A = this chain, B = another copy of it.
Protein backbone atom coordinates (compact mmCIF):
# COMPACT_ATOMS: atom_id res chain seq x y z
CA UNK A 1 0.00 0.00 0.00
CA UNK A 2 1.46 3.35 -1.04
CA UNK A 3 1.23 5.83 1.83
CA UNK A 4 0.12 9.20 0.50
CA UNK A 5 0.25 12.76 1.80
CA UNK A 6 -1.47 15.75 0.25
CA UNK A 7 -0.35 19.29 0.95
CA UNK A 8 -2.92 21.92 0.04
CA UNK A 9 -5.86 19.60 0.49
CA UNK A 10 -8.62 22.20 0.59
CA UNK A 11 -8.45 23.27 -3.04
CA UNK A 12 -10.29 21.63 -5.92
CA UNK A 13 -7.34 19.52 -7.07
CA UNK A 14 -6.70 18.45 -3.47
CA UNK A 15 -10.29 17.37 -3.07
CA UNK A 16 -10.18 15.46 -6.35
CA UNK A 17 -7.02 13.65 -5.21
CA UNK A 18 -8.88 12.57 -2.06
CA UNK A 19 -11.92 11.44 -4.05
CA UNK A 20 -9.84 9.36 -6.44
CA UNK A 21 -7.33 7.96 -3.95
CA UNK A 22 -10.08 6.90 -1.57
CA UNK A 23 -11.07 4.24 -4.10
CA UNK A 24 -7.52 3.43 -5.23
CA UNK A 25 -6.71 -0.23 -4.52
CA UNK A 26 -3.00 0.32 -3.83
CA UNK A 27 -2.84 3.69 -2.12
CA UNK A 28 -3.87 5.01 1.24
CA UNK A 29 -3.99 8.62 2.36
CA UNK A 30 -2.24 9.12 5.71
CA UNK A 31 -1.82 12.90 5.78
CA UNK A 32 -4.08 15.73 4.65
CA UNK A 33 -2.43 19.11 5.18
CA UNK A 34 -3.89 22.56 5.20
CA UNK A 35 -1.99 25.34 6.90
CA UNK A 36 -5.16 27.38 7.41
CA UNK A 37 -7.29 24.52 8.73
CA UNK A 38 -5.07 22.60 11.15
CA UNK A 39 -7.23 20.50 13.47
CA UNK A 40 -10.42 21.01 11.53
CA UNK A 41 -12.30 17.87 10.55
CA UNK A 42 -11.89 17.22 6.84
CA UNK A 43 -15.63 16.51 6.49
CA UNK A 44 -16.44 19.92 7.91
CA UNK A 45 -14.72 21.48 4.91
CA UNK A 46 -16.01 18.86 2.48
CA UNK A 47 -19.29 17.23 3.58
CA UNK A 48 -19.15 15.04 0.49
CA UNK A 49 -16.51 12.98 2.34
CA UNK A 50 -18.79 12.06 5.26
CA UNK A 51 -18.59 8.32 5.69
CA UNK A 52 -15.33 8.10 3.78
CA UNK A 53 -12.80 10.28 5.60
CA UNK A 54 -12.73 10.78 9.36
CA UNK A 55 -9.41 12.53 9.91
CA UNK A 56 -8.51 16.16 10.60
CA UNK A 57 -6.28 18.45 8.63
CA UNK A 58 -2.69 18.59 9.88
CA UNK A 59 0.03 21.18 9.38
CA UNK A 60 2.42 20.95 6.44
CA UNK A 61 5.28 20.56 8.92
CA UNK A 62 3.65 17.63 10.72
CA UNK A 63 6.06 14.71 11.08
CA UNK A 64 3.42 12.29 9.75
CA UNK A 65 4.43 13.43 6.30
CA UNK A 66 7.80 11.76 6.69
CA UNK A 67 6.03 8.39 6.75
CA UNK A 68 4.63 8.92 3.28
CA UNK A 69 5.92 7.19 0.17
CA UNK A 70 4.66 9.99 -2.00
CA UNK A 71 3.46 13.53 -1.39
CA UNK A 72 1.23 15.52 -3.71
CA UNK A 73 1.62 19.28 -3.62
CA UNK A 74 -1.69 20.91 -4.57
CA UNK A 75 -0.41 24.35 -3.69
CA UNK A 76 0.00 27.74 -5.36
CA UNK A 77 3.27 28.31 -7.22
CA UNK A 78 6.22 29.12 -5.00
CA UNK A 79 5.23 26.72 -2.20
CA UNK A 80 6.49 23.37 -3.43
CA UNK A 81 9.78 24.81 -4.63
CA UNK A 82 11.00 25.49 -1.12
CA UNK A 83 9.45 22.49 0.61
CA UNK A 84 10.13 19.40 -1.44
CA UNK A 85 13.84 19.08 -0.62
CA UNK A 86 13.32 17.68 2.84
CA UNK A 87 11.03 14.96 1.48
CA UNK A 88 13.19 14.03 -1.48
CA UNK A 89 16.13 13.71 0.89
CA UNK A 90 14.18 11.10 2.80
CA UNK A 91 13.37 9.14 -0.34
CA UNK A 92 9.81 10.37 -0.55
CA UNK A 93 8.61 10.88 -4.09
CA UNK A 94 6.99 14.18 -5.02
CA UNK A 95 4.28 15.08 -7.49
CA UNK A 96 3.75 18.82 -7.76
CA UNK A 97 0.40 19.87 -9.23
CA UNK A 98 1.57 23.48 -9.11
CA UNK A 99 3.81 25.20 -11.62
CA UNK A 100 7.16 25.27 -9.81
CA UNK A 101 8.96 22.57 -11.78
CA UNK A 102 7.25 22.70 -15.14
CA UNK A 103 9.52 25.12 -17.00
CA UNK A 104 13.13 24.06 -17.42
CA UNK A 105 14.46 27.57 -17.97
CA UNK A 106 14.30 29.20 -14.56
CA UNK A 107 14.58 32.74 -15.89
CA UNK A 108 11.67 32.10 -18.24
CA UNK A 109 9.76 30.76 -15.21
CA UNK A 110 10.56 33.87 -13.22
CA UNK A 111 9.29 36.09 -16.00
CA UNK A 112 5.88 34.41 -16.08
CA UNK A 113 5.43 33.83 -12.36
CA UNK A 114 6.86 37.05 -11.01
CA UNK A 115 9.28 35.58 -8.48
CA UNK A 116 12.80 34.19 -8.53
CA UNK A 117 13.26 30.43 -8.90
CA UNK A 118 15.39 29.23 -6.01
CA UNK A 119 15.86 25.57 -6.88
CA UNK A 120 17.73 25.13 -10.12
CA UNK A 121 19.15 21.76 -9.15
CA UNK A 122 15.73 20.30 -8.46
CA UNK A 123 14.44 21.82 -11.69
CA UNK A 124 17.00 19.83 -13.59
CA UNK A 125 15.88 16.55 -12.08
CA UNK A 126 12.16 17.18 -12.38
CA UNK A 127 10.28 15.23 -15.04
CA UNK A 128 7.32 16.77 -16.87
CA UNK A 129 4.49 14.47 -15.93
CA UNK A 130 2.65 13.98 -19.20
CA UNK A 131 2.61 10.18 -19.45
CA UNK A 132 1.59 10.12 -23.11
CA UNK A 133 4.91 11.83 -23.87
CA UNK A 134 7.33 11.01 -21.06
CA UNK A 135 6.20 7.72 -19.51
CA UNK A 136 9.65 6.14 -19.42
CA UNK A 137 11.19 9.13 -17.62
CA UNK A 138 8.26 9.31 -15.21
CA UNK A 139 8.77 5.68 -14.20
CA UNK A 140 12.18 6.59 -12.86
CA UNK A 141 11.38 10.03 -11.55
CA UNK A 142 11.40 11.11 -7.92
CA UNK A 143 10.09 14.60 -8.66
CA UNK A 144 7.31 15.01 -11.17
CA UNK A 145 5.97 18.35 -12.41
CA UNK A 146 2.33 17.64 -13.14
CA UNK A 147 1.30 19.59 -16.27
CA UNK A 148 -1.30 22.32 -16.44
CA UNK A 149 -4.70 21.53 -17.94
CA UNK A 150 -4.30 23.60 -21.12
CA UNK A 151 -0.86 22.10 -21.92
CA UNK A 152 -2.29 18.61 -21.48
CA UNK A 153 -5.19 19.14 -23.89
CA UNK A 154 -3.16 21.04 -26.50
CA UNK A 155 -0.27 18.58 -26.45
CA UNK A 156 -2.49 15.53 -26.83
CA UNK A 157 -4.15 17.27 -29.80
CA UNK A 158 -0.86 17.98 -31.54
CA UNK A 159 1.54 15.15 -30.65
CA UNK A 160 0.70 12.76 -33.54
CA UNK A 161 1.08 15.59 -36.03
CA UNK A 162 4.33 16.93 -34.64
CA UNK A 163 5.92 13.50 -34.43
CA UNK A 164 4.85 12.74 -38.00
CA UNK A 165 6.22 16.11 -39.07
CA UNK A 166 3.19 16.93 -41.20
CA UNK A 167 2.24 20.45 -40.09
CA UNK A 168 3.57 23.94 -40.38
CA UNK A 169 4.76 24.56 -36.81
CA UNK A 170 4.22 28.30 -37.27
CA UNK A 171 0.52 27.92 -38.12
CA UNK A 172 -0.84 26.61 -34.83
CA UNK A 173 -3.84 28.30 -33.22
CA UNK A 174 -5.25 26.90 -29.97
CA UNK A 175 -8.68 28.29 -29.17
CA UNK A 176 -9.30 26.80 -25.72
CA UNK A 177 -12.36 26.72 -23.47
CA UNK A 178 -12.17 25.97 -19.78
CA UNK A 179 -14.58 25.32 -16.95
CA UNK A 180 -14.32 27.67 -13.98
CA UNK A 181 -12.72 25.18 -11.58
CA UNK A 182 -9.45 25.83 -13.38
CA UNK A 183 -9.33 29.15 -11.54
CA UNK A 184 -9.16 27.40 -8.19
CA UNK A 185 -10.97 27.75 -4.89
CA UNK A 186 -9.87 31.21 -3.82
CA UNK A 187 -12.20 34.08 -2.95
CA UNK A 188 -12.29 36.18 -6.10
CA UNK A 189 -14.89 38.46 -7.64
CA UNK A 190 -14.05 37.38 -11.18
CA UNK A 191 -15.12 33.79 -10.54
CA UNK A 192 -18.25 34.49 -8.50
CA UNK A 193 -21.31 32.66 -9.78
CA UNK A 194 -22.99 35.89 -10.85
CA UNK A 195 -19.98 37.07 -12.83
CA UNK A 196 -19.58 33.85 -14.78
CA UNK A 197 -23.01 32.24 -15.03
CA UNK A 198 -24.83 32.43 -18.37
CA UNK A 199 -21.91 34.24 -19.96
CA UNK A 200 -18.65 33.62 -21.79
CA UNK A 201 -15.39 35.49 -22.30
CA UNK A 202 -11.83 35.20 -23.54
CA UNK A 203 -9.11 36.08 -21.03
CA UNK A 204 -5.31 36.41 -20.89
CA UNK A 205 -5.24 36.16 -24.67
CA UNK A 206 -1.82 34.87 -25.75
CA UNK A 207 -0.52 35.73 -22.27
CA UNK A 208 -1.66 32.81 -20.15
CA UNK A 209 0.99 31.23 -17.89
CA UNK A 210 0.33 27.84 -19.41
CA UNK A 211 1.82 29.03 -22.67
CA UNK A 212 5.55 28.59 -22.00
CA UNK A 213 5.25 25.04 -20.66
CA UNK A 214 3.14 24.11 -23.67
CA UNK A 215 5.72 25.57 -26.03
CA UNK A 216 8.44 23.65 -24.22
CA UNK A 217 6.77 20.27 -24.59
CA UNK A 218 5.64 20.91 -28.17
CA UNK A 219 9.15 21.96 -29.10
CA UNK A 220 10.54 18.87 -27.44
CA UNK A 221 8.21 16.64 -29.44
CA UNK A 222 8.78 18.45 -32.72
CA UNK A 223 12.53 18.74 -32.32
CA UNK A 224 12.22 22.31 -33.52
CA UNK A 225 10.93 25.59 -32.11
CA UNK A 226 7.13 25.68 -31.93
CA UNK A 227 5.07 28.77 -31.26
CA UNK A 228 1.31 29.10 -31.28
CA UNK A 229 -1.58 31.51 -30.78
CA UNK A 230 -3.31 30.76 -27.48
CA UNK A 231 -6.76 32.09 -26.65
CA UNK A 232 -8.24 30.79 -23.38
CA UNK A 233 -11.97 31.28 -22.78
CA UNK A 234 -13.93 30.99 -19.54
CA UNK A 235 -17.08 28.87 -19.88
CA UNK A 236 -20.01 28.73 -17.43
CA UNK A 237 -19.40 25.13 -16.41
CA UNK A 238 -17.62 23.69 -13.41
CA UNK A 239 -15.36 21.08 -14.98
CA UNK A 240 -14.24 20.46 -18.51
CA UNK A 241 -11.85 21.77 -21.12
CA UNK A 242 -11.92 21.83 -24.87
CA UNK A 243 -8.93 22.71 -27.04
CA UNK A 244 -9.98 23.52 -30.61
CA UNK A 245 -6.65 23.46 -32.42
CA UNK A 246 -6.14 24.69 -35.99
CA UNK A 247 -3.07 23.80 -38.08
CA UNK A 248 -1.91 23.98 -41.68
CA UNK A 249 -0.95 20.58 -43.06
CA UNK A 250 2.25 20.37 -45.06
CA UNK A 251 1.50 16.91 -46.36
CA UNK A 252 -1.67 15.31 -47.64
CA UNK A 253 -2.30 12.79 -44.89
CA UNK A 254 -5.16 10.70 -43.56
CA UNK A 255 -5.33 12.44 -40.21
CA UNK A 256 -8.01 10.18 -38.78
CA UNK A 257 -5.85 7.14 -39.39
CA UNK A 258 -2.73 8.85 -38.07
CA UNK A 259 -4.44 9.68 -34.77
CA UNK A 260 -6.05 6.27 -34.39
CA UNK A 261 -2.75 4.50 -34.95
CA UNK A 262 -0.82 6.85 -32.76
CA UNK A 263 -3.06 6.40 -29.73
CA UNK A 264 -4.19 2.82 -30.31
CA UNK A 265 -2.40 1.42 -27.27
CA UNK A 266 -3.18 4.33 -25.08
CA UNK A 267 -5.41 3.84 -22.08
CA UNK A 268 -6.98 7.26 -21.80
CA UNK A 269 -6.89 8.89 -25.23
CA UNK A 270 -9.81 7.95 -27.48
CA UNK A 271 -10.21 9.06 -31.10
CA UNK A 272 -13.83 9.60 -32.10
CA UNK A 273 -15.10 8.35 -35.47
CA UNK A 274 -15.06 10.82 -38.38
CA UNK A 275 -17.89 13.32 -38.13
CA UNK A 276 -18.31 12.89 -34.38
CA UNK A 277 -17.12 15.75 -32.18
CA UNK A 278 -16.28 15.52 -28.50
CA UNK A 279 -18.20 17.07 -25.61
CA UNK A 280 -16.67 17.82 -22.22
CA UNK A 281 -19.50 16.12 -20.34
CA UNK A 282 -18.44 12.73 -21.69
CA UNK A 283 -15.18 12.82 -19.74
CA UNK A 284 -16.44 14.49 -16.55
CA UNK A 285 -14.81 13.06 -13.46
CA UNK A 286 -12.42 10.91 -15.50
CA UNK A 287 -8.87 10.81 -16.87
CA UNK A 288 -10.09 10.30 -20.42
CA UNK A 289 -9.29 12.50 -23.39
CA UNK A 290 -11.64 12.39 -26.39
CA UNK A 291 -10.37 13.72 -29.70
CA UNK A 292 -12.36 14.54 -32.83
CA UNK A 293 -10.82 15.57 -36.14
CA UNK A 294 -12.09 17.58 -39.10
CA UNK A 295 -10.15 18.31 -42.26
CA UNK A 296 -10.84 21.17 -44.67
CA UNK A 297 -8.46 21.28 -47.64
CA UNK A 298 -5.05 21.90 -46.07
CA UNK A 299 -6.41 22.96 -42.68
CA UNK A 300 -6.93 20.48 -39.89
CA UNK A 301 -9.11 21.10 -36.85
CA UNK A 302 -8.33 18.93 -33.84
CA UNK A 303 -10.82 19.06 -30.96
CA UNK A 304 -9.64 17.53 -27.68
CA UNK A 305 -11.64 17.41 -24.45
CA UNK A 306 -10.50 16.52 -20.95
CA UNK A 307 -11.75 17.13 -17.44
CA UNK A 308 -9.46 19.93 -16.29
CA UNK A 309 -9.59 18.61 -12.71
CA UNK A 310 -9.18 14.98 -13.83
CA UNK A 311 -6.81 14.34 -16.73
CA UNK A 312 -5.92 18.03 -16.49
CA UNK A 313 -4.76 17.81 -12.87
CA UNK A 314 -5.47 15.21 -10.18
CA UNK A 315 -6.27 12.22 -12.39
CA UNK A 316 -3.05 12.79 -14.25
CA UNK A 317 -1.17 13.14 -10.98
CA UNK A 318 -2.38 9.70 -9.91
CA UNK A 319 -1.53 8.29 -13.33
CA UNK A 320 1.98 9.59 -12.67
CA UNK A 321 2.00 8.03 -9.21
CA UNK A 322 1.01 4.71 -10.71
CA UNK A 323 3.91 4.86 -13.15
CA UNK A 324 6.40 5.99 -10.50
CA UNK A 325 5.46 2.98 -8.35
CA UNK A 326 5.42 0.41 -11.13
CA UNK A 327 1.65 0.01 -11.20
CA UNK A 328 -0.64 -0.08 -14.21
CA UNK A 329 -1.08 3.55 -15.22
CA UNK A 330 -4.88 3.35 -15.08
CA UNK A 331 -5.17 1.81 -11.64
CA UNK A 332 -7.97 3.47 -9.68
CA UNK A 333 -8.81 5.71 -12.62
CA UNK A 334 -11.40 3.59 -14.41
CA UNK A 335 -14.38 5.87 -13.77
CA UNK A 336 -16.90 6.50 -16.52
CA UNK A 337 -17.90 10.09 -17.26
CA UNK A 338 -20.78 11.30 -15.11
CA UNK A 339 -23.71 11.77 -17.47
CA UNK A 340 -26.14 13.36 -17.47
> Which residues of B have CB within 8 Å of A296?
206, 229
- The answer to whether B336 and A270 touch across the interface, beta carbons within 8 angstroms, is no
Query: A334 contacts which chain B residues (CB < 8 A)?
Result: 23
- Asked if B301 contacts A47 (CB within 8 A), the reply is no
Hey, what's the 0/1 contact readout for A275-298 against B, CB within 8 Å counting as 1?
011111111110010101010100
Decide if B48 touches A337 in the complex (CB within 8 Å).
yes
Q: How far is the CA of A85 from the CA of B12 in the complex (A)?
A: 47
| Cβ–Cβ contact B46 & A339, under 8 A | yes
Mark out the residues of chain A between 1 and 36 whose CB falls within 8 Å of any chain B CB in the assembled complex: 12, 15, 18-19, 22-23
Chain B contacts for A303, CB-based, 8 A: 202, 205
Please give the distance in Å from A251's CB to the nearest CB on chain B.
Answer: 19
Contact of A278 among B46, B52, B201, B301 (CB under 8 A): B201
Interface size on A, residues (CB 8 A): 81
Which of B12, B175, B203 interacts with A194 by CB under 8 Å? Answer: B12
Which residues in B have their C-beta under 8 angstroms from that of A48? 281-284, 336-337, 339
Q: Contact: A238 with B177, CB < 8 Å?
A: no
CB-CB under 8 A from A244, the residues of chain B are 175, 202, 231, 233
Task: Contact check, B177 vs A177: say whether CB atoms are below 8 A apart.
Answer: yes
Known: A175-B175, A180-B193. 17 other contacts (CB 8 A): A48-B281, A48-B339, A173-B173, A175-B231, A180-B194, A191-B193, A198-B239, A198-B240, A198-B284, A199-B279, A201-B242, A203-B277, A205-B303, A206-B294, A229-B246, A309-B340, A338-B338
